[in-house]
Structure formats: structure tokens, C-alpha cells
Structure 1
Amino acid sequence: MKKLIIALSVLLVTSFVAQATTLHTPDQEFIDLAGQYGVTQENWDSGKNAKLTMQNAYRFTSYVEMENGAFIHDMGKASGLDLSRIYGHDIDGPIAMDILIRDRLNQEALVILKDGKLVDEYYWNGMSKYSTHLMMSITKSFTSMTLQTLVAEGKVKMENSITDYLPELTSSPSFSKATVQEVADMRSGIKIVFAKGKMWDDRMTNVQEWNGQNKYPELKSILDFGELVGKRTDFDTGEMYDYQCTNTEMLGMIIAKVTGKPLAEAMENRLWKKVGFSSNAKIQSNSNGEAVGSGGLNATPRDVALMMDVLVNDGKNRNGDQIVPKAFVESLLAGNKDVRSAWSKGSESKLAPNRWYKDQIRTFDIKGHKFLAFVGIHGQLTIGEPSTGTVLHFNGAQDEMQAKRTVALTFLSTIPILLDAVNAK
């Protein structure tokens, strides 16, 4: 009888754990339907399909659902910001901001917060405040902030070698020479050889099963790919800012190693259940449950805006709980000589010189506004201005990745104009 009770107890515990981290398989019925319109697992993430797929991205891959917690932040009723009365500028002259954001910048949502309260929200292309949307590289910032909770607990030291936590990378010609901080700052010195027509090595996306079955079965984990990544020969480790998704995936592996839990579960426990999010989120993964920490988050625009609100509120949620350390937020805003120097050598410095990228988050100072930014490749963007408590979150579905025109129009014009309008209310 005692053995039976113990066996049942183990079964209940393992069942609960399995439920908390349930791995969902691709939605084959949805994939078959999408195929009738020419959208497949192989091409769902292309820019031409963005308007169709960004709200349904998780259906094309395996994914894990992250549950929100008991505390749900009340944003209140919108105080109102009429975009039709605010004018921006495009190459053809002044244009109402609602048209510019929706039609010229291909945005599907805009959420505006001030001191944690809702100023206004706009949704297009069938979205609502309950809709999830693929955040692409905004995910990187969430992975980094999850890591920072471990730093705060003394479980990870940013100045340590990454191999202290991932000994599997000891043989890597690049990662073996980098600290955790250099990896987090995209200063690891890795050399990624892009696959034809892509901005990444397709061995990485294959092991993540981002576009269907893995064509490199010898790669079982993203760590297997990390071991193979080469090293730059033109710059030493730590010298150059070079934006590569593989860096973030290694941070996700550190989180998994240190916590003993998959990245998705660690992020759920440390962020999703604590910030005050109103909805569950989904994070895409491979069939082994390795979450895509560099780009797989599917969340509501409101919740992503609320994550940035934590940073503009000194790392606290609006319930007064410290989510990430205040010192971490201060370090993002202050930067340092290493990240400034590394930024100056990267391509983004042409748009915004003398700025920086630190811990998977950008800091800008444009037209009198100093703000933090989570950035995704198809126009997903979250802005936080700590000095005014203002947050802007955009959900883009742009057909061209990192197009010079849309990036310049967004950062150099649209954001400063909106910040001015919110702060003038």
C-alpha cells in the first residue's frame, strides 16, 4: 500500500510538471489550410507573408504556453490620444499619424502607456487587445531579463566565461573566448556565415525546427550548433557589436542549465507570472522543447508594453515588486566605454551614432528623448522613456526586414513626435 501511495505521488508530481511545460506540436490542420493560400512551414516567416502569419506564427512550429500569474495589472481606461490629429512626415510631406503608422509603417497594433496607465491603443488587420503577435527579436530582451533575475540571485556572473555555465562550448573557436557579458552585448566575436538569401546560418533555424523538419539530424540541440560557430578574424572578442541570434540562444541555454528548467518554464516563473500580464503567451520551440529565445515569443501587445513599463519604473511592476534590479536598468541607460566603442563599429551606428546595445536592449537619444528599445526584425518595437514614464509598443508586419526607409521613418521621426504628443497631454 505504501509503495502504491508513493507511486501515485510521483505520478501526480510528474503530471503537474508535464502540464506546466506542455509541449504543443505544430497545428497541422491550420498548416494544411494555409497551404491552400501558398503559405507553408518553409515560407511562413517570409516578409511577403507577414500580414497573414505574424498573428498565427506559433501554429507553424512546436511551442510552449507560458501562463500568467495571480496579479494582473489594471491599465485603466484609455485617456485618449487621437492619432488623426497628430502629424508625422513621409517623403510626400505631412501625413496623419494613424495613416502613417498603419499604412506606411505596416503596423498592426500600437499601445501607449504613461506611468503604467493606458493612454490609448490601436489595432488593425483583425487584431484586438487579446490577440497574440509574433514579437521576433523582442524575445531577446525577455530572455536577457530572465537571465538578469539569476544575476540578481548570484547564480550567474556576467563577467564569467560562458564556458563556466556551458562547458559544451569549450571546443568552440569563438564562444570559448567570450564572457557572458560579451555574449549578451553581441560582442562575442562569433562569425556567422549566412545561408543564401538569409541573414543567418540555416543550420541554426533547422535545429530549432523553425521551418519544419530538421535537415541536419546530427544537430540535436542549439548547443550543438553553438560548438560549430567560427570566430571573426577582423576584430577581437569584445571589440565589435555584431547582431547575431546565436548569442541569445546561448543565453537561453545558460538559463536552462542554471535553473534546471527549460527556458520557457524559467521565463514563465520569473517574468510571466510576476509582471502583471493579463494573458498567457506562447514561445515557439523545436520538438525537444528548446524554446527559440532569440525570436519565438507570441504575446499580446499590451503585455509586451507592460514589460517595458517595468524598466521605466526602475525594474518594478506596478504592484511594487522588484522584477529586475534597478541597477540593471541604470546600467542600460548609462552604457559604458566597451558597448559605445563596439556600437561605433557596427552598421546601426550610421542611424544613431554614439548610442549602444547592452544586454539585448538598445539605448537611443534622439531629438531630446533618451529611451530604451526592444526591437524586432519586421517592425516589432517597444520604446520606454524612463524620464517621462512613457511606453510605446508597435506590432509590425513589414514585408521587408530592417528596411532603411521604415527604420529611419520610425526612429528619427515617428517616435519623437509620438513621445512629444504623449508628454504634452
Structure 2
Amino acid sequence: MKKSVIALSVLFVAFGASANVTYHEPNAQYEANLNEFGAGVKNWEEARLVPLTLADSHLYHYHAVISAPTEKMPMKLVGGLDVSKIMIDDLIPNRKISLYDVMRDRASMQNYVVMNKKGEILAEDYWNGTDKNTKNHLMSAHKSFTSMALFIAQEEGFLKLSDPAGKYVTEFKGRKFENIPLQNFADMTTGIIDLPANRPDYHWGSYGAGTTGSWDSSMPSVVGYSGLVRNDDGDLVPPADALGNLETFSDYLTEFVKHVEPKYPAGEVYEYKDINTEILGVAITRSSGLTLSEFFDKYLWSKGGFNSEATMYVNQAKESAASGSLNVTVRDFAIGSFLMVNDGKNWKGEQVLPKAYVDAVKNGDDGVKQAWPKVSYEHMLFENAFYKDQWRTATHPVTGRKISMMVGVNGQFSAFDHVTGNIVAISGAYREPSGLGMMKLYLLDTIFTIFDTLAVQQAK
């Protein structure tokens, strides 16, 4: 048994803490309640279960709590948008349905916030037992927050996006990944296509991006995504998975490079693989000496005007997935986009995110635009789009409206309109991961419709 694991296995008993981050055990009663529906920490992300499991999901995980900031962006509900009055074409020809009914019933949205560029709330609703204090699991929309942290780390002098990954990821030494710049990991243009095999019963199977899904089952397991177990010595460790008994993310990376090599030269193709984001997380934590939750607290959460606590799943070594462990309120989800529409500044006008980062997300570059359609299935869902710095930017094929967005697999969206600066944040519980149906309900029917409606209202 590794000494580091022995020492750290007691932290959840002692609730060890740093500054504004504390670490906590699961709530046993919450998981027991979920078990009555066949849900729990081992299978919580199954599509059929997400209406039960995505709200306050940190409570049945080992998790870090990032304290609510002392200085909060004022939240003012001014109204002015009623989604029940917006009528869109129904499935039956010549019939209309309200956007409210589409959002709540057909799309299984749990809650949403619509905000203008000034940060005023124009509309919000909370369904399925949620409220403004509910922490919603962001799934892969977490990636965009990790990207914010990455560029803050560059501004603080911890790293450079031009640095080769091997400078921080020593497990890449002597491998083809070693000299790929961090920027390619941020753009998901590293050439990673195939992944290690999943455990036989893994419920996502091969569904998702490319040929092997967006991550293999061992990767989330090792960072606490599926809970922790006691080994024969009584120490907390991740459960065994397809790659064996791995205890830290370093263990995972050591195994990963035995199974995977880039299939294309760096920069040539876009392919959505979560390991890209995890390498960014490793660069942040190893260059700063902070855990991911601690870095978020010190450099992003405490400065961005966020209103509430945030949480991240953790393993016994306080490691968190950089690509999908964050839980936040939907209002704070919207504030993430508020920073983007205000050129990286918070509500007080203080620069939190580099403006160059915001511009890169909005405008992309020739490299990411050329890489978008070559391998990934996503260009078939939305042709006129690109992926830059862990954000997707898309242009509506008819109206020409351009938006950028954070996206999670079950309908977690925080999107902003490039022209008006309006924001739509949605915590979804869509029962099919990604795909054409989700794009139709969430992106085309809801987000673009709301932006179009507001643009007309605000132009009067």
C-alpha cells in the first residue's frame, strides 16, 4: 500500500481543509434514498437515471466544497421574458406548442436562467424539485470552467499554452504525447482517437464521440466519479476498473500511454476526448501546487462574482476530474457566461479572465475550423461550428446568429449571444447523451429561439 494513500485515507474522517475549500464524505441517507430507485454512486450517470441523480449529486460522492465568495455579483430579477408565451412549431403540422412545455416536459430541463449582458435575470424556472440553491452537475460543461482556470494559470505565470505537455505530465516521457503543446489539448486536436477498453458492464459502451466514447471507464473511476471503496487494509481507494487497481491519476496516465498513441499529427483533426481536458487539469495542479478545487477557489470562484458554493467530486488524494466533476447553481452557471460577454471582467469591471482568451473562444482560428469536420461526428449535428479552448461556437444556418457555449452531455448549456450579450444557462436531464434530439430541443428550439426573441424585444 502506498504511504500517500494511507495518510490521505483519513482526511474524510477528519474533514481536512485548506483556506476556503473543505473535503467531505458522502451522505449515506441520500444514496440509500436513491437506491430505492436502482440508482447510486456506481451507476448514477446512466441515462435512464439522470432525472434522479444530477441535482446535488456531490452529496453521494466524496467531494470538495468551494466556499461561496465574500463578494457576490448582485442578482436582480427584472423579468421581461415569458417562455410560456413563446410558441414554436409542434411535431404535428400546423400546430404550435409553448416553449415552456418543450423545455420542462420534452427536454427534461431541471432549471434555467436567462440573463442580459448587465447581469439582470430576465427569466428563470426551477422544476423537478430544484431551486436557485440546487447545485447541478455540469457534466462536460465543467471543461469550459477548467479552460478559464487554465488561462488564468498562464496569466499568473504558472504555465504557457505553448509548453509541451511532457513538461508537466512526466508520465508522457518518451511517448509521442510528450511534445504536443498544451494548446492542442485545449482545442482537442491532439490526434487522440482510440482509448483503452472499458470494463465489460460499462453502461456508456461505445456511444459518444468517435469509435470508443469520450472517455474510458477507468479514467473517471480513478478520480472518484464512481465513489471510493475500502481495500483490504481499510484504506479508501477507487474501485478496480478495466485497467486494474489504480489509486491515483498518475497511475492511470502510466497505464494510458501503454494503450494509446495519437492517431493523427497534432492540430490536424478535432476529436472530443476527455483525456485532453484532464491533461490541462494536471498542468494546472502540478504547476501551481494546488488541487483543482483549491485553484478554482483562489483564482476563479472568489473573483468572478459567483453567488454560491461549488463542489467537485474527489478521490482519496483530493484529485478531481477536470472534465466533469463540478456542481454549481444555474445562476452561477450563467455568471460563467457573463464573464465572457463582458470581455473577461466581473460585475465590478475587474479583469478575471484574459480578454485574449475570450476573443479566441469567440473567433477561433483557421486551425480549429479546418479540424472540425475531419473526424468527429459533431460536424454532422452542426456544420458551421468549431471547438476552441474547451468551448463550442456555432452559427445558425438560417439566421446567422453566432453563439458560444459550454456543453454537457445531458443538456447542460451556458451560452451567450455574440451580438446582444444575452445569456441562457440550462441544467438539463435529457435521457439520451448528446445526439440530434438534444441539439434540436436544447440548441435550436430553445437557446436560439430565446436569443432571437430577446433580440427583437431589445431592438424596440
Residue in structure 2 matching 1:242, options 256, 260, 271: 271
Alignment of 1:41-120 (within 5 A): 41-92=41-92, 93-115=95-117, 116-120=119-123
Quote the RMSD (CA, aligned, Å): 1.9
Tell me if structure 1 keeps the 8 A contact 2:21–2:297.
Answer: no
In 1, Cα distance between equivalents of 2:164 and 2:102: 46
Which deviations, in whole Å up to 9, do the C-alpha atoms of 1:108-134 show, x marking residues without a partner?
Answer: 111000021111111111111111111
Matched, 1:255 2:270: no
Q: CA deviation at 1:292?
A: 1.7
Task: Give 3-state SS (helix, strand or coil) of 1:298's partner.
Answer: strand
Q: Give the equivalent residue in structure 2 for 1:353.
A: 383
Structure 1 vs Structure 2: percent identity of aligned residues?
A: 31
Q: One-letter code of the match for 1:412?
A: L
What TM-score, normalized to structure 2?
Answer: 0.85
- C-alpha distance in structure 1 between counterparts of 2:248 and 2:141, whole Å: 22
1:4 matched residue in structure 2 = none
1: CA distance, partners of 2:442 / 2:134: 23
Q: Does 1:303 find its partner at 2:332?
A: yes
Map of 1:90-239 to 2, 5 A cutoff? Answer: 90-92=90-92, 93-115=95-117, 116-173=119-176, 175-190=177-192, 191-193=194-196, 195=198, 197-198=203-204, 199=213, 200-212=215-227, 213=229, 214-216=239-241, 218-227=245-254, 228-229=256-257, 230-233=260-263, 235-239=264-268
Structure 2: distance between partners of 1:143 and 1:27: 26
Distance 1:204 1:181, change over 3 A: same
The answer to whether the 8 Å contact 2:220/2:226 transfers is yes
Q: 1:413 to 1:30 in 2, by over 3 A?
A: closer
Equivalent positions of 1:270-419 (< 5 A) are 270-345=299-374, 346-366=376-396, 367-419=399-451
Q: Does the C-alpha gap of structure 1 residues 132 and 121 become closer, same or farther in structure 2, counting only changes over 3 Å?
A: same
Following the alignment from structure 2 to structure 1, what is the Cα–Cα distance between the partners of residues 454 and 172? 47
Q: 1:114 to 1:128 in 2, by over 3 A?
A: same
Q: What is the TM-score when the length of structure 1 is the normalising length?
A: 0.92
Extract unaligned runs of 5+ from structure 2. 1-14, 205-212, 230-238
Q: Secondary structure of the residue that 2:372 maps to in structure 1?
A: helix
CA distance 1:194–1:349, shift in 2 (3 Å):
farther
Secondary structure of the structure 2 residue equivalent to 1:424: helix
Deviations 1:135-179 (A, max 9, x none): 111111111101110112333211221111222321444x32421
For residue 368 of structure 1, report the CA deviation from its aligned partner: 2.2
What is the CA distance between 1:236 and its match in structure 2? 2.0
Change (3 A) 1:18 1:324: closer
> Quick check: 1:343–1:354 contact (8 Å CA) kept in 2?
no
| Runs (5+) with no aligned partner, structure 1 | 1-14
Number of aligned residue pairs: 410
Flag as ranges the 4+ runs of structure 1 deviating above 6 A: none
Task: Report the AA paired with residue 220 of structure 2.
Answer: T
Equivalent residue number for residue 7 of structure 2: none
User: Does structure 1 retain, via aligned residues, the 8 Å contact 2:61–2:225?
Assistant: yes
| Cα contact 2:66–2:311 (8 A) shared by 1 | yes
In 2, the alpha carbon distance for the partners of 1:255 and 1:183 equals 13
CA deviation after TM superposition for structure 1 residue 52, in Å: 0.8
294-303 vs 360-369, which deviates more? 360-369
How far does residue 40 in structure 1 lie from its aligned partner after superposition? 2.3
The answer to whether the 8 A contact 1:189-1:238 is kept is yes
